[in-house]
Chains A and B, each alone.
Chain A
């Protein structure tokens, strides 16, 4: 899919977004609220047939952000969905694993490190933290005390 066509198709999900940012020719950000992220992901993956690269989780003070990165391999353009999770007490977002199995482990990892609940994830077990790591301590949250001090036993 060429760049022009991609941009035209992206406008089909405009009503689900709160903004589109084009930082460069090959980098497009689609900003949306958490509840719309599932639909936008599905659109990029199933309707536009873009390749899912990876997801990122960020603790950005007033909200959590999940960034889903998709690549349009024909042009090398990377399209990132930036989903904002405003609820800091019980952060949750709909899982994309049911239609995109490649996202299973990265969602588990984000769940481990940031404590974000991926609803309808088929297998949200611990992935990378130690077996004896305390429940409910999320090391990549900014407020986490273990973050800088280390947890020497």
Chain B
């Protein structure tokens, strides 16, 4: 395991990106950080800049307006970086598939920027905090 990978897995700092979610997934993301689930005890912490982040938590379908920003945010994160797609929308545009403002799915947008991106899918509408934590654990043990 490279030094970069080893350090990535130690305490994962996350940056939360909403690219057109209905806000429900975002509430669950915040819920994951509240004392009940308290993922900070695993070193998982929300940070205010993608440059400080080891992982992106992406929610939403990827609207025309937002994907331009998403590409830029992904470019700015330190690599290696794990992209967590939270919710049915982010995993494959969900109920908004074919909508007039949908440019996603988000995984394709990320792969356009970086074909080797590490992408993890956490489906659900919205996924429970338990599902997100389980997703994080699975990814970190697979790396």
Contacts and interface: CB of A to CB of B under 8 A. Distances in A.
B100 A131 contact: no
Contact of B101 (A129, A131, A148, A149): A129
A142 interface: no
B103 A139 contact: no
B100 A130 contact: no
A23 B37 CA distance: 46
Contact of A139 (B65, B97, B98, B101): B101
Q: What is the interface residue range for chain B against chain A? A: 10 to 19
Contact of A149 (B63, B64, B98): B98
Interface in B78-125: 97-103
Interface in B44-65: 63-65
B65 A150 contact: no
B65 A151 contact: no
A149 B64 CA distance: 14
Contacts of B64: 130, 132-133, 151, 153
A150 B100 contact: yes
Nearest to A139: B100
Interface in A103-134: 129-133
A42 interface: no
Nearest to A147: B100
Nearest to A129: B101
Main secondary structure of the interface of B (DSSP, over half): loop
A132 B102 CA distance: 13
A90 interface: no
Interface string B56-76: 000000011100000000000
Nearest to A148: B98
Contacts of B98: 148-150
Contacts of B97: 150
A144 B100 contact: yes
Nearest to B102: A150
Contacts of A148: 98
Interface string A137-149: 0010000101111
Interface of A: 129-133, 139, 144, 146-153
Interface of B: 63-65, 97-103
Given A129-B65, A146-B100, A151-B100, 12 more contacts: A129-B101, A130-B101, A132-B64, A144-B100, A147-B100, A148-B98, A149-B98, A150-B97, A150-B100, A151-B64, A151-B101, A152-B103
21 contacts: A129-B65, A129-B101, A130-B65, A130-B101, A131-B65, A133-B64, A139-B100, A139-B101, A146-B100, A147-B100, A148-B98, A150-B97, A150-B98, A150-B99, A150-B100, A150-B102, A151-B64, A151-B100, A152-B103, A153-B64, A153-B103
